[in-house]
Copies of this chain bind each other. A is one copy, B any other.
Amino acid sequence: MTINPQQAKNIVDSSLNAGKLCILVGNCKVQYEGRAASKLSEGDRVLMIKSDGTFLVHQSKQAKAVNYQGPGAKILTEINDEGLVVSAVRKLPNLIEKIDVRFRDIYFAEAFGLKDDANLKLFGSERQLSDLLMQDLSLIEPGLVPLQQESVQARGYMDIIAQDSKGRIVVVELKRRIAGLDAVTQLKRYVEELSKRKGKITRGILVAPEITERALLMLQNWGLEYFKLDYEIDNPSARIIGLEKKQKELKEYFK
């Protein structure tokens, strides 16, 4: 069962004009050129084109679209000797991105007018942990106070700069998931920068629910500290259950 290319072209074209979402299923080749380049030889795929220009090519497996283009893409259709070609073109500052989907056979083509005004409401995101910690640095260590003007807060991560009871500068790095080598080197960099700038002894504390073996070793070699963070997400809010310092005893290295 195959759909006539011209018929499919009409469905796509009118779908775009009407602000509808369009789905095509068929055998096609895909080619992409832009920030990277890729080629996908013949096979059956699903092409979804949304009313905002979003363009997604899905294979029969895996969560990610194998080729895609975000909102704002200009959609073009064309019929050549081999069949229907649907393209998405997008202009970036100094290059053009283009995906071509060349259909040899089209099994299905239809447009859907979707009414949807709802927005996703997300609860208990791990983001709340930053706020929790920030509100009470004594969870980490008594006597720790934030140096307000220094603290930088950005989306998805937070670095806290504080002062401990002995007046030393403390850099706290919080990771919401398992901390690896990169987290440790990052912390080291901050500590070095800060200690140079301030000319004071500076401590570095990594707070994370878990840390890899090698990362812990490296951290300790550098005189940094690790605090294990236990928390639970009990909707609609997160809560810190425990926060304790984990430092391997030296002797453990020799056992």
Contacts and interface: CB of A to CB of B under 8 A. Distances in A.
A234 to B, nearest CB: 9
Contacts of A65: 63
Contacts of A40: 118-121
A60 B182 contact: no
A61 B54 CA distance: 7
A44 B115 contact: yes
A74 interface: no
| Residue of A54, A69, A186 ringed by the most chain B CB atoms within 10 A | A54
B23 A126 contact: no
Interface stretch (A31-39, A75-83, A165-173, A247-255): A31-39
A114 interface: yes
Interface stretch (A2-10, A105-113, A145-153): A105-113
A75 B96 CA distance: 40
A50 B54 contact: no
A91 interface: no
A164 to B, nearest CB: 26
A33 B121 CA distance: 12
Nearest to A58: B48
A240 interface: no
A60 B181 CA distance: 39
Contact of A189 (B23, B45, B51, B181): B181
B60 A71 contact: no
Given A37-B123, A44-B116, A63 B59 contact: no
A208 interface: no
Given A61-B51, A62-B71, A181-B189, A114 B35 contact: no
A118 B29 CA distance: 9
Interface string A209-233: 0000000000000000000000001
Interface string A117-142: 11111111110000000000000000
A244 interface: no
12 contacts: A23-B46, A37-B233, A38-B120, A39-B120, A44-B113, A45-B116, A50-B60, A60-B114, A61-B71, A62-B71, A182-B182, A185-B189
